[in-house]
A and B are shown apart, each in its own frame.
Chain A
């Protein structure tokens, strides 16, 4: 059965800290891995990764994929209270629906 596992499930840090969120997956026909940020309601898109070793960056956020070891990490540097959210990892396989992990809840205290 295809699955996506995220760790840790929750994390509490202080403003300015750097955090690393993990996502491992087992899917039959991998096509892409996506990261979403969910605050109050709708998940919003952060990154899509399809190739190993190529880092995607957006401001203080970055992500990389390792297709050999079947995992991805999401890094957030110099965290701010606005980074507090649930971060979701999802994998697209040859089927049509994204498979989501349960998410990592990040709390950033000031």
Chain B
């Protein structure tokens, strides 16, 4: 157990729907990062929050949004889902604002859009 908790582990939904993925960071970590992993693209950075504030954005689609709550857990909202959104979504956390010293991953949420 890495200490980073992601729920749900699996999600199957239809095109056009909206889902919410949840992440609880490791105790003491203030930064949360969201990544999407697909077979052909590898791990793609989506967005980072630090202590409740958005810190950095990667290749996140406008249909996707995220937030970090006062208790530091984070949610990634995916809407108007398309088949191509099927992927493994990882959350990771770190103590500092920067990821230069690495971070700890959760076990991921596998999203299947049918």
Using a CB–CB cutoff of 8 Å, the interface residues on chain A facing chain B are 31-32, 34, 36, 41-45, 48, 88, 90, 92-93, 95-103
Using a CB–CB cutoff of 8 Å, the interface residues on chain B facing chain A are 2, 4, 31, 33, 35, 41-45, 48, 50, 55-56, 58, 88, 90, 97-108
Q: How far is the CA of A93 from the CA of B105 in the complex (A)?
A: 19
Known contacts A96-B97, A98-B99, A98-B102; decide if A41 and B45 are in contact (CB<8 Å).
Answer: no
B55 and A43 contact, CB distance less than 8 A: no
Report which of A31, A34, A97 forms a contact with B45, defined as CB distance below 8 A: A97
Across-interface contacts of A88 in B (CB, < 8 A): 42-43
A21 → chain B closest CB, angstroms: 15
What are the 6 tightest A-B residue pairs by CB atom distance, in nearest-first order?
Answer: A92-B100, A102-B42, A100-B43, A31-B100, A42-B105, A97-B45
Known contacts A42-B2, A103-B42; decide if A96 and B56 are in contact (CB<8 Å).
Answer: yes
A41 and B42 contact, CB distance less than 8 A: no
